[in-house]
Amino acid sequence: MYLRDTIAAISTPAGEGGIGIVRVSGPDAERIAARIFRKKEGGFQSHLFYYGAIVEPETGFCLDEAMAVLMHAPRSYTREDVLELHSHGGTLVVQNVLQLALREGARLAEPGEFTRRAFLNGRIDLAQAEAVIDIIRSKTDLALEVAQSQREGSLSHRIGEMKGGLVQLLALLEAHIDFPEEDIEPASRDEISARVAGFTLEIGEMLATYGEGRILREGIAVLIAGRPNVGKSSLLNSLLREKRAIVTSIPGTTRDIIEEVVNIRGIPLRLMDTAGIRETEDLIEQEGVRLTREQIPRADLILFIVDASLPLSDEDLAIYEVIRAKPHVVLLNKSDLLEQPVASFPRDAVTCSISALTGEGLDALKDQIADMFLHGRIDDARSQVLINNSRHRDALERASIPLQRFSENYTLLGGLLELLAADLREAVNALGEITGETSTDDLLDLIFSQFCIGK
C-alpha cells in the first residue's frame, strides 16, 4: 500500500549525464517547489518550464542552475501534483538536489512507486501499469516496442473490445431469459455461435503469441555446454565481443546468478553461468557432465559445442545424451580449419558450423536462434498484441475455457440459455481481470437500449 505523502526520487539513470532529473510527487510538491527553486517572480503555472536555481532555503546556497516544471493534479503522471527538477547531470549534484527535497519533507520513493500511484489513482489500468515496468526492464528494442505498445493501451484496448463484444452477446441471451413474455425477435443462434467461435479463435491467437511475448520480455536462458577445451570460453567471448550487443550484465553474489545478456535479432539472450564457463574449462570430465545436468532445467536453449576437428569422444556423447531432450543447437567448432567436419551427428540435429575464436558463423547461428524462438512471427511488434505476461496468459486461458464450453454446450444441449450465459459471464470476468475491472453493470443498460421491453 502507499501512503498519501510526498515522494521523491532521481528519475535519470545513475552516473554522469547531460541532465539529471529529480521527480517529486504528492501534496507537498508545490510547497517544496516554492521553497527550493528560485526563479524570477510569482508562483508556478502548471505545465510551464521555468529557468532558475536550486537553493537551500535557509542559507540561500545555490546547488545548481536548473529548470523546473510543476504539473498540477490530475494532469500528471501520478495524478498528483508532480514537480520535476532538471539540474546538471553529475552524480553528486543530482544526489544533493534529492537530499534537499527529502529534507523539505519528501520521502524517498520505493522502486516503481510513481507508477503504482498512477495505477492507484486510476490513470492507467493494471495491464498498462505492468507495461511500464516492462518498459523500464526492456533489454532489446523489440521487447521495448511490445511494452510501449501495451502501455499505450493496445492490449487493454483489444481486451476491452472483446469484452464489449461478449457483453453484447450476453445482453442478447439475458434479454431472452429475463423477458420471456416480451415479443423480442429471436437472435440468430448461428450468428451468436459464430461470434463466440470468433472470440475463441482470437483469444487462441493471442495465447499463441505468449511464447514469443515471454521470450521478448524475459529473454532466453542459454546454456553453453560441452566438454572442457572445446571452445566454450571462446564462444562466450565472441558473443560478448560485440560490445554494442551487451545490454546489461547482472553481477550476483553467487556464481550461479551471474548472467550476461546479449541482444540477438531483438531477443535478449541470457547466457547462463558465464563465470562458471571460464572457471571450469579445466575441470575433470565427470564434473563437467554433472554441472551441465544441473543447469539444464533452467535453460531454454542449449548451445552444445564440439570440436569438429576431432572425432566425437565418449564424453561428447554423454553430454549430448543429457541435453538432447531440450531445444539445442550443435555447434561444430573449428570448422574453419577443415574442409569437412570430422565429428558427425544424428541427421535430425540442428547443427551450425562456427569458429568460436574468430566469430565466423555467428550470424548464421543468430538467425538460427531467432528462427527457433520467434518462428518468423514477429515482423512488426507494434502492429500486433503480444502476450508477454503469465498473469495475462492465465486470464486469457480462463476466458477461453468457458468459451469453448459454450460452443460444446451449444451443439450438445441445443444450448440451455442460462448455461450459455453462465459461460459468457465467466469469460467476460476473466478478461476483465487483465485490465483490473470485472463489472458487467452495463448489461441491463444494453438490454433496455436495444429492446423495447415493458409489459
Q: Is 121 in the site for another protein (CB under 8 A)?
A: yes
Interaction between residue 363 and another protein (CB under 8 A)? no
Q: Cα–Cα distances in Å, from 266 out to 59, 99, 217, 219? A: 52, 39, 11, 10
291 near another protein (CB under 8 A)? no
Residue 186 sits in the site that holds another protein (CB under 8 A) = no
Query: By CB under 8 A, is residue 136 in contact with another protein?
Result: no
Distance from C-alpha of 169 to C-alpha of 175, rounded to nearest angstrom: 10
Q: Nearest approach, Cβ of 331 to another protein (angstroms)?
A: 50
Q: At which residue does the C-alpha cell 538460427 appear?
A: 368
- The binder of another protein chosen from 18, 180, 251, 346 (CB under 8 A): 180
Q: Is 183 in the site for another protein (CB under 8 A)?
A: yes
179 binds another protein (CB under 8 A): yes
- Among 65, 178, 367, 394, the residue binding another protein under the rule CB under 8 A is 178
**Rule CB under 8 A: which of 28-87 touch another protein?**
79
- The residue count of the chain comes to 455
Q: Does 394 bind another protein (CB under 8 A)?
A: no
Q: What are phi and psi of 224, to 5 degrees?
A: -95, 115
Rounded to a whole number of angstroms, the minimum distance from the CB of residue 452 to another protein is 4
Asked if 411 interacts with another protein (CB under 8 A), we say no
Nearest CA-CA partner of 93 in 120, 63, 119, 52: 63
> Segment 80-119, which members bind another protein (CB under 8 A)?
119
The reply to whether 5 sits near another protein by the rule CB under 8 A is: yes
- Selected from 67, 133, 240, 422, the binder of another protein by CB under 8 A is 422
- What angle separates helix 113-120 from helix 126-137, to the nearest 10 degrees? 160
Distance between CA 192 and CA 406 in Å, rounded? 10
- Examine residue 322 and tell whether it contacts another protein (CB under 8 A): no
Could you say whether residue 417 binds another protein (CB under 8 A)? yes
Determine if 334 is a binding residue for another protein (CB under 8 A): no
Task: Using CB under 8 A, pick the residue from 4, 243, 244, 347 that binds another protein.
Answer: 4
User: Total residues at the site for another protein (CB under 8 A)?
Assistant: 40
The piece of 214-222, 259-267, 335-343, 422-430 that touches another protein (CB under 8 A) is 422-430
Question: What whole-number distance in Å separates Cα of residue 422 and Cα of residue 11?
Answer: 47
Nearer to another protein, 291 or 443 (CB): 443
String of DSSP letters for 98-132: HHHHHHTT-EEPPTTHHHHHHHHTTSS-HHHHHHH
Q: Which residues pair with 37 in a beta bridge?
A: 54
d(CA 40, CA 57): 16
Single residue of 302, 425, 427, 434 touching another protein by CB under 8 A: 425
Q: Least distance (Å) from another protein to the CB of residue 120?
A: 4
| Beta sheet of 220-225, edge-to-edge order | 246-250, 259-264, 267-271, 220-225, 301-307, 328-333, 351-353
CB of 24 to another protein, least distance (A): 18
268 CB-contact burial (10 Å; exposed 0-12 / middle 13-18 / buried 19+): buried
Can you tell me which of 152, 371, 394, 418 binds another protein, judged by CB under 8 A?
A: 418
State yes or no: cis peptide before 74, omega within 30 of 0.
Answer: yes
User: Could you tell me how far CA 413 lies from the centroid of its own chain?
Assistant: 42
Query: Which residues, numbered 426-455, are part of the site for another protein (CB under 8 A)?
Result: 426, 436-437, 441, 443-444, 447-448, 452-455
Question: What is the contact surface with another protein in residues (CB under 8 A)?
Answer: 1-5, 79, 119-122, 174, 176-183, 412-413, 416-419, 421-422, 425-426, 436-437, 441, 443-444, 447-448, 452-455
